Chain A
Amino acid sequence: MSQGLSLIFGVIGIINFAHGEFLMLSMYLTFWLFQLWGIDPYISIVIVTPLFFLFGFATQKVVFQHLIKAPHLSQIFAAFGLVIVFQNIALFFWKADYRMVKTGYSAATVHIGALNLSFPRIIVFIMATAVTLVLYLFLKRTYLGKAIRATALDPDAAALMGINPMMIYCIAFGIGGALCGVAGTLLVPIYYVFPTIGAYFVLIAFVVVVLGGLGNVFGAFFGGLLIGITEVLSGYFFTSSFKEGIYFLIFILVLLIRPSGIFGLGKT
């Protein structure tokens, strides 16, 4: 549960290595909004999310749009280029220091029966559930959502139906960016911010996506829950330095045993 939010950005199926860096930047933005103007992280969701929608949109427009027809390799490496650029921008401007926002509720806990739950994590869980539902409804019910799904299945056929695939890619990327924005603001009260934090989270995000099955909204939600549980358990049994190794192991195992994900429908 503690990690329930990692599913948020696991939802889009674009294999974008730079996703973690989006998250890192959104965390920095939230951090500075708090530091400079004292805006509470939960309020800054309203500011950060639209900004990151634009940011994601722009990234697709400027970089990936030109690589749609390029081989897989080029796309992956363009993403790596972005990773290097963003990470080092953060390093350049804000140094390698670990920073954290101290709010009144960072350490607050809520008692439900015998359980002690930390307040920010409950917020994360609620928001994660809400975002999952909204996203699901958006993809299933709205015209734009349907257009996104159609484009994902067959861009050429979608284009014949009057959908502009290029625009859809930009919007999908924008939504991915916006979700990173939400995740970033929610994470700031819990985690330290530093330039390479993205790498840590993007890994978890990939595990979640693979666990839940690519492009499966609810799959990603449950994948997130599973990783949350694993984190708690592995923290209990192993030293923390091994914890990261455990994620990788789970990741490899899942990829090998169920490449289509636990909730995937067995397609290859």
Chain B
Amino acid sequence: MILTQLKSPTYYFPLALLALMGVFPLWIKDPFYLHIFIMVLFAAALSSAWNLIGGYGGQLSLGHTAFFGVGAYCSSLLFLNFSLSPWVGMLLGGLLASGLSIIVGYPCFRLKGAFFALATLAIAEVLRILSINFDDLTKGSMGIRIPFRPSFVNFIFYDKLSYAYIALCLLFLMLAISLAIGRSKMGYYLVALKEDEDASKVIGINTIKIKLLAIILSAFFTAICGTFYAQYILFIEPDAAFSSELSVHMALVAIIGGVGTAAGPLFGSLLMTPLGEFLRSALGGEYRGLHLIIYGIILIFVVMLIPKGIHDWVKIGFERFIQKFLPGKRETEERDILSNYPLWKEERNLQSESRRQTRIFWEAREVSKFFGGLAALSNVNLKVYEGEILGLIGPNGAGKTTFFNVISGLLKPDKGTIIFQGKEITELKPHSICLEGIGRTFQIVKPFPNISALGNVMTACFCREKNSGKAKSKSLEIINFVGLWNKRNFPAGSLTIAEKKFLELAKALATCPKLILLDEVMAGLNPTEVSEALQLIKKINQQGISLIIIEHVMSIIMTLCERIMVLNHGEKIAEGSPEEIAHNSAVIEAYLGQDYINA
């Protein structure tokens, strides 16, 4: 696998560049330039660590110095007080920072966007103030000087070259981890929850767990960078170790390079670190502040001119370059993958056909939901038999979507129980409900807009499948099934409304559900698309999957559904076969008013 990949220029060319970076420090003689080289690597590694949660996960942390400082102080204090080798202290510091990250992350992840940033910023500041005030341990604002006793065990070296190679190893490690995560289930999950948290939950993503995992990893490596910094400078003080500027710088390097990409932090660091260092050395002494003024102005311009980051440019340029000049095998054809797998199989429907209409496998008992004083749902009872298609209708505002939100766990019912396959699922979180086997689509479609259609489906696939390769082939199969084959590599945001609806369906299918909730899939589709959707729904049902369908178009409901439930003002007003419903006076009144019955 790896050997075949190496034949492709997309792989061997960047690897060659990295190898070149490996011999580069041998060639630099000037210690100042070597220092800049080390700082570039260091900042890139640090920023990669931030990128794990801040970039991939989209959780803009501005408090990563908390982890950095903890790492730096932990290893240094252990070294000074117990002569423990910083190599060991580094790992302990990493673990300590990971522990801290759980304490920070768990409550703070409920906050969105800028508020999360502010909260993390505040936490780092609290640590800074604490480290100043606990001066028995940390020597307060005086800082800690690490005695210069060079040896490998002490992580102290005479020459900068050794530091350069350690930094290089650190950076390679971070690049490898970033790449691995980017392609794994975790990477897909992180990006998905960055794009749409609700949509992530209903395809089985435990958002809190994934975010915590990411921040634990991120904190660990940030702390390791902290130790490296302390051992390189041999001096730490609260204002440096816990400085908010450093937090900002970490994030900034990643953002300028390209957030959520493995190589982004390196690009960002290659641009920003030398810039900062040169400005400082050229202007720092005589004109205090001037170098930062220029740095700030450049920062504003960069953010304004290339909001997506350098990575985007480099990628486009790189692809052109490869196509023109470098030989090698291209990406494997996805059709090949598809042909290796049977198309959607028909085996399951026979067994389910026999059990049809006999077994209740989903049931809601007395379910109520209140918004303030308004009863959005009151005492709704409903049974779904295995393999059936149930229609859910009602005027606008009747509580249909609320009902779906309650079923899929996005809203907790105030009263009542929901039972699925003999198990009570009322209290379960959305992702667990998905894992139990209930998938759903959203009326207002919620694709992950910046991920390709295929990526969207793959993300959903990961809820049953750990291996990326298998998830990909299964997703290709599903994408083919819903008829989005030609659009699979387009970002989901660029699809038409009909395609987005089919994508929603594909995402729901990819979680291997036994029951699918379809929320107005037909709305906004033209007649051809409607008939395609009808065919799809029938095919899905033939697999033995039950469906509850919310729909306004009565002809669709009448042809598809075996039974229909009608909601009005949050109450069930009728339930029965399509014919019964069509002649039910309560239903006619709800839709058309009292006058119509009299007339």
Contact = CB atoms under 8 A, between A and B. Distances in A.
A88 B289 CA distance: 5
A74 B258 CA distance: 11
Nearest to B293: A88
Contacts of B295: 84
Interface string B558-599: 000000000000000000000000000000000000000000
Interface residues of B, number: 39
Interface string B101-125: 0000001101111110111001101
Interface in A202-230: 203, 206, 210
B107 A256 contact: yes
A203 B244 CA distance: 13
A170 B132 CA distance: 41
Given A72-B114, A73-B60, A259-B110, A85 B297 contact: yes
A101 to B, nearest CB: 23
A54 to B, nearest CB: 19
Interface residues of A, number: 41
Given A72-B113, A248-B126, A91 B299 contact: no
Interface stretch (A26-34, A120-128, A238-246): A238-246
Contacts of A159: none
Interface in A52-82: 63, 66-67, 70-74, 76-78, 80-82
Contacts of A251: 118-119, 122
Contacts of B248: 77, 80
Given A77-B251, A80-B252, A255 B118 contact: yes
Contact of B292 (A66, A72, A76, A84): A84
A39 interface: no
B133 interface: yes
A206 B125 CA distance: 14
B296 interface: yes
A82 B295 CA distance: 10
Nearest to B132: A241
A252 B123 contact: yes
Interface in B264-320: 287-290, 292-293, 295-297, 299-300, 303-304, 307
A91 B295 CA distance: 14
A206 B129 contact: no
A108 interface: no
B553 interface: no
B38 interface: no
B505 to A, nearest CB: 28
B390 interface: no
A241 B107 CA distance: 26
Nearest to B248: A80
B130 interface: yes
A248 B251 contact: no
Given A85-B293, A92-B289, A255-B111, A76 B300 contact: no
Given A88-B293, A88-B296, A255-B115, A244 B125 contact: yes
A245 to B, nearest CB: 4
A76 B121 CA distance: 13
A89 interface: yes
Contacts of B296: 81-85, 88
A88 B122 CA distance: 23
23 contacts: A70-B307, A77-B248, A77-B251, A78-B300, A80-B248, A80-B252, A81-B296, A83-B296, A84-B299, A85-B300, A90-B289, A91-B288, A92-B290, A92-B293, A203-B125, A210-B118, A241-B129, A241-B133, A244-B129, A252-B122, A252-B123, A259-B111, A268-B112
Given A80-B299, A244-B125, 14 more contacts: A73-B259, A74-B255, A74-B304, A77-B248, A77-B303, A81-B296, A83-B296, A206-B118, A241-B133, A245-B125, A245-B129, A248-B123, A255-B111, A256-B119
